[in-house]
Homo-oligomer: A and B are copies of this chain.
């Protein structure tokens, strides 16, 4: 069976969990905090980042969320993550890269630092300027998600794709940290509600970061 090194608030591990669940690939979770010493984890991924997926029996280790998703897209034809023509697939990959890079670095990563790392590990209080700046960038992304959903049914086009899972994975962490403000982003909000109701999403809504409980609305699929 596949083992997934992750920690509950790693958005890239969430993206992989969603992809594996959609494709009905069974896996077990194994906790790793990348910033701590864990020999087996660091040996398996010299980049020192979660997620890492491995299968002892087959001596197979995969690292990097996108490399992992592409691997299962090639080996499991069920529920395509990159449906459509080469051009459609390029558009989905462009959006995945945008969410993995700009949404993560502009919003999720600073919020994780301010609200998770400072609270649990550094015992500092969050910097409100950083939080405000992250919120501003978040609204730009929600605007863009509104735009995409208004033009297509899903983020990457007419079909559900990895672009939806990549974006929803980031937003779910932002929501856990109680920083997801919808204001007038009603298209994005409706889209996210649909994502949150998928069976593949349910496990994410129960995973908790020790010492950092989510807000009450977090696990409510109608919120």
Contact = CB atoms under 8 A, between A and B. Distances in A.
Interface of A: 46-47, 60, 62-64, 66-68, 70-71, 74-75, 86-87, 89-91, 93-94, 97-98, 101-102, 144
A71 B86 CA distance: 6
B64 A87 contact: no
Contact of A98 (B47, B62, B75, B89): B47
Contact of A71 (B47, B71, B89, B144): B89
Q: How many copies of the polypeptide does the oligomer hold?
A: 2
B74 A86 contact: yes
A2 to B, nearest CB: 13
Contact of A89 (B47, B60, B74, B144): B74
Given A75-B86, A90-B62, A102 B67 contact: no
Given A67-B94, A71-B87, 5 more contacts: A46-B144, A62-B90, A64-B94, A66-B66, A70-B70
Contacts of A70: 70, 89-90, 93
Interface SS of A by simple majority: helix
A93 B67 contact: yes
Considering residues A60, A70, A71, A90, which has the most beta carbons from chain B within 10 angstroms of its beta carbon? A90
B97 A67 contact: yes
Contacts of A89: 70-71, 74
Contacts of A102: 47
Nearest to A46: B144
A85 to B, nearest CB: 9
Contacts of A90: 62, 67-68, 70-71
Nearest to A98: B47
Nearest to A71: B90
A144 B48 CA distance: 13
Contacts of A86: 71, 74-75
Contacts of A97: 47, 64, 66-67
A173 to B, nearest CB: 19
